[in-house]
Amino acid sequence: MNSVHGAPSYQLASDSVTLSVTRTGGMLGPVTFISGEKLFTPYALAPWQPDELEGEMPNLLKFLRGDFFCLPFGPQDEGAPHGDTANADWHLVQHQENLLHLAIEPEDVGGKVEKILRLRPGHAVIYSEHLLSGLEGNFSYGNHPILDFSKVDEGEGRITTSPFRWASVNPGLFSDPASDEYQTLVPGARFSTLNAVALADTPPDTSSPSTSSATTDLTCYPCRKGFEDLVMLVNEDSTPEQPFAWTAAVMGDHVWFSLKNPSDFPATLMWISNGGRHSTPWEGRHLGRIGLEEVCSYFAENVTSSREDLLQEEGIPTTRSFSAEEKVSLRILQAASPVPPGFGAVVSIIAKGPEMVSLTSDTGMKIDVAAHWDFVVSPS
């Protein structure tokens, strides 16, 4: 175990991926994807280290980086935000050449959660599994990858997802000026395309409803510096022809993408964090970051709100029912690849045989990436 960005961390490496996972919070990052002589490190590290912060705050904030598993997703009445899985210590179960197996017995929700990360030679892919057992009741949950666009020119990064059937800006005030936080999207605004989302005329607050006379394109990032926003997209169900849902981010000469089973993770949250928070530890310096989070949750609200099933009429689950007698495997795949100049934004990711996916861009370019996509579709 080594100290990485101020955090004791486990390591795992292959010919195509090197990664670290913090002992506290089980946070994946940094990660380097390797393609020949090209290196790509897309995951965000907070612009602070744990020992630089003073005062009481959740470990989630002290160690913030990369990707972590949240159970429950969001705040809870008793316990740390995003749960012990994102705040407490994970212990080592097994460490092999291409496998890192950690576990935690969270005191807040009970049961056991195992984090199993697998690598495969020749695959610039992280095969990520969380195995839940002994858990009783209805819970929200999610994976929380955060990418760093701070070195990408304004608006030059491109973010897209597989087709979605429902989408909305966070219904309440996500960033409250009374707490020195500011957002720029209209609370509760519904939209059908990421290219046109209602932009507030002035930063929303609690004094009056927001008005909007313009839209903004959420596929282009970094944009809207000085603001902090949250939107949720509910993906279309999978089909035999399209057996997985996807999220993609083109960053310079590389693309990062994730694949999931939408029956396990019905929604994608976009946490657009571009310097809109000014309290400690944010201080306006968390710039050009974006969370592309795969969840079963009601936005990032308290788990109590998720349990109220507020989107039932839309047929959108916001929690899952767990039984102590069952084991549940929740899997996502996160991968990367170089892209040619002028590639543009990803418009489709499809299976191409059992060990390959094909990405097509809005400029008509295609790339094939080695990835065992069935990992997210058919857990064994």
For residue 186, tell me if it sits in a domain: no
Can you give the pLDDT at residue 236?
97
Q: Give Cα 236 to chain centroid, integer Å.
A: 18
Alpha-carbon distance of 142 to 69, in angstroms, equals: 6
Tokens matching residue 15: 């010919």
pLDDT tens digits, residue range 322-337?
999 999 999 999 999 9
Q: What is the CA radius of gyration of the chain?
A: 19
Question: In terms of residue numbers, what domain contains 236?
Answer: 2-165+223-377
Would you give the DSSP letter of residue 237?
Answer: P
Can you give the pLDDT at residue 55?
84
Alpha-carbon distance of 105 to 72, in angstroms, equals: 14
Cis peptide before 379 (omega within 30 of 0): no
For residue 191, tell me if it sits in a domain: no
In the chain, the percentage of residues whose pLDDT exceeds 90 is 97
For residue 181, tell me if it sits in a domain: no
Tokens matching residue 274: 């571009």
Can you give the pLDDT at residue 380?
52
Alpha-carbon distance of 299 to 301, in angstroms, equals: 6
For residue 145, tell me if it sits in a domain: yes
Can you give the pLDDT at residue 276?
98
For residue 184, tell me if it sits in a domain: no
Domain count, the chain: 1
For residue 199, tell me if it sits in a domain: no
pLDDT tens digits, residue range 178-214?
999 999 999 999 999 999 999 999 999 998 899 999 9
For residue 143, tell me if it sits in a domain: yes
Residue range 295-313: mean pLDDT, rounded: 97
Q: How confident is the model at residue 36 (pLDDT cuts 50, 70, 90)?
A: confident
Q: CATH number of the domain that 85 lies in?
A: 2.70.98.10
Can you give the pLDDT at residue 291?
99
Cβ neighbours of 40 (radius 10 Å): 19
Check whether 252 has a pLDDT greater than 80.
yes
Can you give the pLDDT at residue 37?
87
Strands 7-13 and 2-4: antiparallel
Whether residue 292 contacts residue 247, with contact meaning beta carbons closer than 8 Å, is answered with yes
The mean pLDDT value of the chain amounts to 97
Q: How confident is the model at residue 379 (pLDDT cuts 50, 70, 90)?
A: confident
